[in-house]
Structure 1
């Protein structure tokens, strides 16, 4: 009799194969399915229930399950057979992600605006495992998926970083664990950032800021020039690209930009009194018209093509649109008075970015800080003018 080993299970011929360790344990190889059975007698009756399916249940798992049943028999305790889930009935990761997405859409509220991006990123992360039963997905599988995405990020330069994908996946698995679809949220016990994945720290220099600013009006075509104005606007306002591309004239009233919960990634209301340098980039239009539109009045698309043209015109490469936000907020953080005391607090900068307050403070601190945000953006505008060495109306400079 051939001894059962974990390595041999996948290649054994059709038939029943007895285990030499646990009496009565049988590995049955069929034409389409491989399963584990345990033969035993109880109450004068012969029993041979299926206790697992391969590869969902390996040799170690099968032996542990069989041993537990035999120990109950030896102790005279009734055996309650728990029928294992057949692989055809097991919920796959694809189905699991779909159920989560359906739940989130039905629930609505926070996170709905970014749900499409989140689900695309999660499915991309799990691409090699989507048809795997969710309960079979292991920590080792997750680390492989994470590292594969991290390598792809470094090669392609895509903005969908592996750590962001892990954050999105964590929300899915956390829900799934609470609903008992899986045992635990594996992301919570796995490093989010894969080997070699470095969070971006790019802050544009004064020369780079000047070069990009000067190149913006030189963009070709109506859509290109619209993109150029938007780049300037994002640098002054320190807001996200998605918020710039979706900005409509009606959202600006008396120089104040009001964002609803559905208008930004943070899913929180946000009010910013914009400095003149930002207002100068908006142009004019009907309330429902986009401030930065294509030639047909539609939302800008093909952003990467515009970005390449701007790189060529400015001579600045290796930067991303989101680096404008980091540059603006970092410069605000570094601004000090004559006594080296910061002019803008970290809390105000965080409020400008519309970030949530961390920890217990988030339960108690609900101030809008609108006046402080306005003052901070005015200070940043003054600093930016010094960097650009310009004055007066900014539209054509």
Structure 2
């Protein structure tokens, strides 16, 4: 039976029940947007159903929009209006709802999107034609976990707005502008991936710049050590290898750590490359860093001058490990690159929040292990008068596109000459007392 007076208020919805002696009833519900909405109730069911009746293709069709009290009167009217609009367009709202449900089930959360993108990124070739290193992938995962996941992981990708991204990235920038800049780059790539896979129509991170999230790039680091500063470091390393009376055990450097830092100075290589150096990579006076360990993903050859070979001979006498600089705790593993950074910071008294003003290098302007690489490059250019392009080759930097395309000359003899002259300069001016004499190293004709 249908009630004569249509339902128009929430109170009427709550009070509606089958007449005495009947087990079910239906009543029309007013809606200015369209007709055909009713409320259906049965005595054997606690919930009441919102029902929409419509004609499509000459057939009378009935669909349930939702149930009261989960769906209130206002919500039922909105759902009814949307369904009626689809009917006007000749679309069956039931099929539309099924398609929408399937789309919702296929939608990714940001957490799911990151895992999919990370797996894709780990295998995708970079500009150099090789996939990123495991270390780079691990850095992205750490960045996501620390700065982005806590506020983004549970959102559906399609619901993420530009405004939300700015808020999250500004929060990251308050802790570290550099990390916020890298987080922005991660999100751009990840959401491009989602756009290509039709999870979103447009990337909300597109057009965002570091300046817009308060992460404007700072001035690039230009710290490099002078010859006198490098000498102070070399001497501090020598002193820290012993245990003078009153020196804390934490201030002592292991042979592996001390010699690895010295090799950083002599070669200009990256700390990750030196830390994981293996004996099998060394052949007489050259060391070949394999592609899988090189940042450029290309094999890189380094000349080992006599002073560098002395360091390797000492290491060979002290260890049977496959690694040149083995870990103290496990000789079958190399020292961790971070241990080199920590050692350098400790010599400066800056390894902890509270600085140690008694540290041997505390008076020097702060520097990092990467600054040693910059120092070598600077000294090659300024003291040995080496042309910049050759320095870039020695640092294993990616060459300019035109050079990479048309010039494949390795220029090994010239590189070898620079490393040799640099080692001589280190021996005369850094590893020993230079006295009052000044030695000028002119550019070789090699």
Alignment TM-score > 0.5, same fold: yes
Write out per-residue CA displacement over residues 140-178 of structure 1, whole angstroms, 9 at most, x where no aligned residue: 333333333333237xxxxx7333444445444443433
How much does 1:232 deviate?
1.9
1:284 to 315, 319, 322: 315
* Matched position secondary structure for 1:293: coil
User: How far apart in 2 are the matches of 1:335 and 1:99?
Assistant: 49
Look up the match of 2:198.
Answer: 180
User: How far apart in 1 are the matches of 2:119 and 2:405?
Assistant: 29
How much does 1:258 deviate?
0.8
How much does 1:328 deviate?
2.1
2:360 to 307, 313, 316: 313
Tell me: CA distance 1:391–1:127, structure 2 relative to 1, closer, same or farther (3 Å): same
How much does 1:119 deviate?
2.2
The answer on 1:203 being equivalent to 2:234 is no
Q: Which runs of 5+ in 1 are unaligned?
A: 2-17, 25-36, 51-61, 155-159, 338-342, 393-397
How much does 1:239 deviate?
1.5
User: How far apart in 1 are the matches of 2:188 and 2:401?
Assistant: 19
TM-score, structure 1 as length reference? 0.67
* Matched position secondary structure for 2:311: coil
User: How far apart in 2 are the matches of 1:260 and 1:382?
Assistant: 27
* Matched position secondary structure for 1:313: coil
Look up the match of 1:97.
Answer: 114
Look up the match of 1:111.
Answer: 132
Look up the match of 1:55.
Answer: none
User: How far apart in 1 are the matches of 2:206 and 2:428?
Assistant: 46
The answer on 1:230 being equivalent to 2:260 is yes
* Matched position secondary structure for 1:292: coil
Write out per-residue CA displacement over residues 315-374 of structure 1, whole angstroms, 9 at most, x where no aligned residue: 23532211112222233344575xxxxx3233x222222222344654555444433433
How much does 1:247 deviate?
0.9
User: How far apart in 2 are the matches of 1:23 and 1:40?
Assistant: 11
Comparing 138-147 with 240-249, which one deviates more in the overlay? 138-147
Write out per-residue CA displacement over residues 39-71 of structure 1, whole angstroms, 9 at most, x where no aligned residue: 896636577889xxxxxxxxxxx99x969x95x
Tell me: CA distance 1:98–1:77, structure 2 relative to 1, closer, same or farther (3 Å): closer
TM-score, structure 2 as length reference? 0.61
Q: Which runs of 5+ in 2 are unaligned?
A: 1-7, 9-29, 36-49, 67-77, 243-251, 349-358, 435-446
How much does 1:181 deviate?
3.8
CA contact (8 A) 1:333 1:349 kept: yes
The answer on 1:357 being equivalent to 2:399 is yes
Look up the match of 2:160.
Answer: 137
CA contact (8 A) 1:258 1:269 kept: yes
Look up the match of 1:13.
Answer: none
Structural RMSD (CA): 4.4
Write out per-residue CA displacement over residues 103-162 of structure 1, whole angstroms, 9 at most, x where no aligned residue: 4556795214322233222333313212222233333333333333333237xxxxx733
Compare CA radii of gyration and give the structure with the larger one: 2
How much does 1:253 deviate?
1.0
